[in-house]
Structure 1
Amino acid sequence: MTIRKPARRTTKVWDSLVTRCLPLQDRDAEFWWQLTGYHMAHMLDAAGYTVERQYEVLLFHYLWIVPRLGPAPDADGVPKWKAVMAHEGSPLEYSWKWNTTTSQPEIRYSWEPFNPGSDRNSNPLNHANSLDYMQTVSHIVRDVDFTWARHFLRELEKEDRPASYFLHAVEYNPAGKLGLKSYFAPRCFKLLEGGDSMVKKEWDDAITKLGPSNACRDNLMEFLANNPEGKLMKPIVLAMDDVKPSKSRLKFYLMTPHTSFASLKEIMTMGGLIDIPEANMKDLRSLIQAIIGVPSDYPEHANMPITPPIGKTWADTENLFECFVYFFDIAPQNPQPEIKLYLPARMYGPDDLEIAYRLMDWMRARGRGAYCDQYLRMLEVVGEHRGLANGKGLHSFISYQIKNGEADVKSYFTPEAYHPARFGRA
């Protein structure tokens, strides 16, 4: 079974691999390769990766990731499993790290391996595919270290508590380095919606066993426990760099129902603990205004207006996206976390084409428009099954973080692997 293929754009590297180099895989892997490999080929080409690097990335994806993405949907597009990685059930979520005035874009993705039974709760502690990946990929990525990932598997996967989703990420640096990450997410969405005080405590207890003294973590926990905005935040993901512990960082992802500018400033500064220049806060505010389309005089304490997509194709996670998501980076040597905002584009802002236009205009206004045309062409390939103007949800998040005084902006988007239009049902 193959996905429906209109007249497809191609790249030289993709054409070389699929027509002259690589054999067909089994039915499931071939589906994911023809979908996600094709998307990755266009992402790498659009981001200006060298031909050599494009081959390296696509072969890594083909050999190490694609065979672990699980069963393909049936001929009508009905999924045989739905991952939690993307809101619409795809097992990957792509990321485009926008260029600065001196650097090119970077390509990465998060992915979820298929572990039979874990998606149906018949065997929730089955992480066999992840464990096999961790064992074997270590022979290729020489500096990878899963010490912390294995620690959290032991500490969080307790029989008397709901099991976690165990997810991964790969960052493909243009210069040749691979960065691997691991993620843990509470399995029960209802716990997230209502809040589960035990999750935060379990995470903190597990982190304390790594080392009881951590001022950065302590400052975050103080904020979450005592600040009015911090108290509203619910944990959704705990992540780590898969490098030796002395160089690794922990990352807390938390969501809040407050989406106002006032809440944004309170959280980004951790109640005044972190000094963020007003110019940076105005820059972040301008990005939100551009994507969502609110006026410059939008009330400080008003939540952002939602514009949900037509249809309910993601009912299990629908309520999770009427929020802002924040990432707190906990590095042992830093006294305060580094904080990133994730704006859920699935729930806020216009259709995918208009979001792309607004984001590109924002980039061009800051002298960072060198890759805008390539970004749009690439996104049109990812969304060729339905057209970017014909809906929303391809863009999942737009993120903003201040790094070294400059805006680090990323676009996150999904393959929409099970979209009806991929199977002629739209």
Structure 2
Amino acid sequence: MIIPNIPSEHLYRIMAPHAEPYTPSFTTLKSEADVDRVKTPLETIDATLAFKTPNHIFWWARTGPQLATLLHHAGYTPSDQYTELLFYALHIIPSLGPAPAIDGTLQWKSPQTPDGTPLDLSWEWGLDGKGVIRTSFEPIGPLAGTAADPSNSYETDRWIRHLESQGLVKGLDLEWYGYFASSVLPDAAEAQIQRTNKLDFELAPDAGTFVTRDVDLTKGPIVKMYMFPGLRAQQVGGRTSNLDVVERAIRGLPKEQFDALAPDPLLDFLDEATQKWNMEVGIFSFDLLKPESSRIKLYTRAPHTSIEYLMDALTLGGRQSISMYSEEAFADLKDFWKIFIGEAPAVLPSGGKERAGPGFYFTIKAGKPATPKVYISPASFCESDAEVLKRLWRFFETRRKPGKMLEQMEKYEKALEEMYGSQFLRDQCDVHFYIGCALEVDQLRVVTYMCPQILSREDLGRNGQSK
């Protein structure tokens, strides 16, 4: 049996599109132990799949190992790792767009992550001691950023239609996709969107969409659609706000769907919070499921950090009872808030941290009350990703029953050190671009959102620095 022996200095040249051809040398495996060693799911897939384009080769080589590392340390069985890695390789990798050229030029740069990588990965801290891994990405077409597709307008729809035609996600339903695409996204027939400081501030992709696939082994995979109402608000013009766009879309649903959602308390609070907290709606999201099963999520933020702001959002300005949650759960939430926000002022100064002020996403679903969840950008309050890890340790170590969470924390930290290296985690603070939490009856459910940092590390490699 032979394997390629590729010198490290040639790795970038092989994986980058437009790189000069390179012929790898081959060496014989040195011992029977190497032959007998059981391959990991990633190694087996590497040896089986043959990617046909430099773009696919690049994205798989850079991101496949990261996803595999998270799945392994999160406690996924080898069988489940195969399932998720194969789906990722076959159905997501081809939609990550052109890879950077050898000089670093990128045809389409996603605004959704700190360095423009079109993918983010998240780890939900399961209460059973195992993580739930999700992949979110902006589908990017092969001609995105060119005269043929200047706004990357087609790939998200193509990807969703591909899932539907191939029957790849059980329960996939596109009723709301068709409706909300026409009522929340900009009208493609009208003039092209002009970038503004406000849209840049909101990190809105030009096409206004990205998608997430939950890798939840209990519920099964769920595809979520994310839309940026700021693009349509700009197109409509006048004093139209993002909230105006979202509210009109929700109120335009069929009466039975609107009544089942019972969104008035949430919409009234958001209107009030616009004045009270300078709260803005940034993202509108929903599951690609039948309307009676789908959740709608509204992502908001404001430049405030006080406990008063936190509690006002949790109660929808006093419109909703929170008596179902225990005192211990509220204590956990306040500790989480204080640990990650630290000594920040009650109102963040303009021109900087307010871009990533603490926010909430509010979920509504047929027959259920609205539920708020917290998300915070650590880059606004921490010096490095290593510090983020320390604060996570501090939070979990001080809980009433920390056992399973501390075991999971060890696995999480090990995964990140394998993915990025300790030095990289100490040097910057853009791996964790969001952390979030949600109230359960008597505890918190924590989620961390990570940027793979593919493009930033490619830049470091070109500049001769360690990745």
Q: Answer yes or no: same fold by TM over 0.5.
A: yes
CA distance in 2, matches of 1:180, 1:165: 17
1:13 shift after superposition: 1.7
1:291 corresponds to 2:291: no
Question: Helix, strand or coil for the counterpart of 1:349?
Answer: coil
* Alignment correspondent of 2:21: none
Check whether the contact 1:47–1:107 (CA below 8 A) recurs between aligned residues. yes
* Alignment correspondent of 1:13: 41
Question: Helix, strand or coil for the counterpart of 2:99?
Answer: coil
CA distance in 2, matches of 1:73, 1:268: 43
Count of residues in correspondence between the two structures: 402
Match of 2:251 among 205, 208, 211: 208
Question: Helix, strand or coil for the counterpart of 1:144?
Answer: coil
CA distance in 1, matches of 2:146, 2:93: 21
Question: Helix, strand or coil for the counterpart of 1:96?
Answer: strand
Cα separation, partners in 2 of 1:374 and 1:25, compared to 1, 3 Å? farther
* Alignment correspondent of 1:112: 138
Match of 2:364 among 330, 345, 354: 330
* Alignment correspondent of 1:183: 226
Q: TM-score, normalised by structure 1?
A: 0.85
For 1:81-100, what per-residue CA distance to the aligned partner results, in whole angstroms no more than 9, with x for missing partners? 21122132111111100121
For 1:29-72, what per-residue CA distance to the aligned partner results, in whole angstroms no more than 9, with x for missing partners? 11111111110000000001000000000000000001000111
Match of 2:66 among 39, 62, 80: 39
* Alignment correspondent of 1:310: none
Cα separation, partners in 2 of 1:187 and 1:77, compared to 1, 3 Å? farther
Check whether the contact 1:11–1:45 (CA below 8 A) recurs between aligned residues. no
Q: Which has the larger radius of gyration?
A: 2
Which letter does structure 1 place at the counterpart of 2:392? L
Which letter does structure 2 place at the counterpart of 1:400? C
For 1:178-223, what per-residue CA distance to the aligned partner results, in whole angstroms no more than 9, with x for missing partners? 11100101466997xxx96432222211222223444631111111
- For residues 118-129 of structure 1, the aligned pairs below 5 Å read 123=149, 127-129=153-155
CA distance in 2, matches of 1:21, 1:44: 19
Check whether the contact 2:361–2:374 (CA below 8 A) recurs between aligned residues. yes
For 1:89-120, what per-residue CA distance to the aligned partner results, in whole angstroms no more than 9, with x for missing partners? 111111100121x3511000211011466657
Percent identity of paired positions between Structure 1 and Structure 2:
25
Which letter does structure 2 place at the counterpart of 1:371? Q
Gapped runs of 5+ residues in structure 1?
307-316
* Alignment correspondent of 2:432: 395
1:347 corresponds to 2:380: yes
Q: TM-score, normalised by structure 2?
A: 0.78
Cα separation, partners in 2 of 1:248 and 1:228, compared to 1, 3 Å? closer
Match of 1:362 among 370, 392, 395: 395
RMSD, matched Cα:
3.1
1:171 corresponds to 2:204: no
Check whether the contact 1:93–1:413 (CA below 8 A) recurs between aligned residues. yes
- For residues 18-417 of structure 1, the aligned pairs below 5 Å read 18=46, 20-100=47-127, 102-115=128-141, 123=149, 127-138=153-164, 139-156=167-184, 157-158=186-187, 159-160=189-190, 162=193, 164-175=207-218, 177-186=220-229, 197-212=240-255, 213-214=258-259, 216-227=262-273, 232-276=278-322, 277-294=326-343, 302-303=346-347, 321-334=355-368, 336-366=369-399, 367=402, 368-384=405-421, 387-417=424-454
CA distance in 1, matches of 2:297, 2:115: 24
Check whether the contact 1:127–1:166 (CA below 8 A) recurs between aligned residues. no
For 1:204-249, what per-residue CA distance to the aligned partner results, in whole angstroms no more than 9, with x for missing partners? 1122222344463111111122347656211110000111111111
Gapped runs of 5+ residues in structure 2?
1-9, 15-37, 194-205
Cα separation, partners in 2 of 1:275 and 1:423, compared to 1, 3 Å? farther
CA distance in 2, matches of 1:187, 1:29: 32
Which piece of structure 1 moves more, 256-265 or 389-398? 256-265
Question: Helix, strand or coil for the counterpart of 2:298?
Answer: strand
* Alignment correspondent of 1:311: none
